[in-house]
Amino acid sequence: MSTVLAILKEIAQAPGLLKELYGDLAKPGVSQVGKALGSVLGLGNTILWPITLMNEKANIALKRNLEKYREQIKEVPEDELTEVPPEIGVPITEKLSYVTNEELSNLYVNLLAKASTFKTAESAHPSFVNIINNLSPDEALLLEQFRDTDALPYVEARLVKKDNRNQWLTVAELLTDLRVDKLAFPDNLISYLSNFEGLGLIKIRKDIFIVNDALYDPIEKRNLPLFDLIQYSKETHEPELKRRKIEITSFGQLFIKACLSSLKDQIQQEN
């Protein structure tokens, strides 16, 4: 190891780094941070934190994200803390030095906090870091609507041949009740859902639906006028809204539990 890297590693492992980050070592939660991240400080990108803190923009991002982490674990008794595994801690701390989007940084911080206690460490899977890495800010925001449920309704709008109902033309394949008004790119909704499916968080089912008319009625009422906007022969085809469902996988439910809720919320739910 070069002399420079050796010096940086020593600085990164010292209490002085925590003082630089938090201002006061006696501040509630700082000792917990030191214990939980003890196996991480000095590894990977954390070795460069002293240099990172010299960059104003990076300084703000790192301090803000680590402050959110301190807030989450400050009330955890030290005997309930465990060292964060490097395979989780190293890639997350790297992201915390430059991720500024609130939704994405919350996912990283929540996961890091869960990996910091004996009670919740089992829910913090290393693969979840890569899942977050592959999410856009819009997708992180959209995921909030997948909490506290195992399935969401959607309908497929299509024109079905009257003489052969096994033949149809798809007008719109994925019409949901998901709110998109806060998304930066609402037209990308289908792409976002496809990404969720590719990451193993959901399954877009075409073979089954939720047995609950109340879930589908608003979607169908809102989208029935679609058929008035297209030209088709009413003698040969008729409109149909086929009910389907988006299924949150067991893996997706674990991810949501670990990354979307705070440490305090998860502990309260389990007690």
What are the tens digits of pLDDT across the range 56-88? Answer: 555 667 778 888 888 888 888 888 888 888 889
Residue 12 has pLDDT above 80, yes or no: no
Determine the average pLDDT of the residues in 83-105: 88
Per-residue confidence at 260, pLDDT binned at 50, 70, 90?
A: very high
Give which of 137, 102, 130 is closest to 201, Cα–Cα. 130
Evaluate the CA torsion angle 186, 191, 194, 200 in order and state its sign: negative
pLDDT at 54: 45
pLDDT at 24: 45
Q: At what angle do helices 56-73 and 15-22 cross, to 10 degrees?
A: 100
Q: Which tokens sit at 95? A: 């992201």
Residue 183 has pLDDT above 50, yes or no: yes
Task: Look at the block and give the residue holding tokens 């490097």.
Answer: 86
Higher pLDDT residue, 84 or 204?
204
Prediction pTM value: 0.81
Determine the average pLDDT of the residues in 204-227: 96
Higher pLDDT residue, 243 or 28?
243
Question: Of how many residues is the chain composed?
Answer: 271
List beta partners, residue 157.
Answer: 172, 241
pLDDT at 263: 87
Residue 27 has pLDDT above 60, yes or no: no
Distance CA 75, CA 111 (A): 17
What are the tens digits of pLDDT across the range 30-45? Answer: 556 555 565 555 544 4
How far from each other are the two terminal CA atoms of the chain, in whole angstroms?
47
8 A C-beta contact, residue 138 and residue 184: yes
Residue 229 has pLDDT above 60, yes or no: yes
Distance CA 144, CA 22 (A): 30
What are the tens digits of pLDDT across the range 235-255? Answer: 899 999 999 999 999 999 999
Determine the average pLDDT of the residues in 114-137: 95
pLDDT at 270: 74
Query: What percent of the chain lies above the pLDDT cut of 70?
Result: 77
Distance CA 175, CA 244 (A): 10
8 A C-beta contact, residue 132 and residue 117: no
Per-residue confidence at 145, pLDDT binned at 50, 70, 90?
A: very high
DSSP labels for the chain? Answer: --HHHHHHHHHHHSHHHHHHHHS-TTSTTHHHHHHHTTTTTTSGGGGGHHHHTTSHHHHHHHHHHHHHHHHHHTTS-GGGB-PPPHHHHHHHHHHHTT---HHHHHHHHHHHHHTTBTTTGGG--THHHHHHHT--HHHHHHGGGGTT-SEEEEEEEEEEETTEEEEEEEEEEEEE----TT-S-GGGHHHHHHHHHHTTSEEEESS---S-HHHHHHHHHHHGGGGGGS---TTTEEEEEEEEEEEEPHHHHHHHHHHTS-HHHHHHHH-
Determine the average pLDDT of the residues in 214-221: 97
pLDDT at 180: 96
pLDDT at 161: 92
Which 3-state string (H, E, C) describes 126-149?
CHHHHHHHCCCHHHHHHHHHHCCC
Mean pLDDT over all residues of the chain?
82
Distance CA 160, CA 163 (A): 9
Determine the average pLDDT of the residues in 203-221: 97
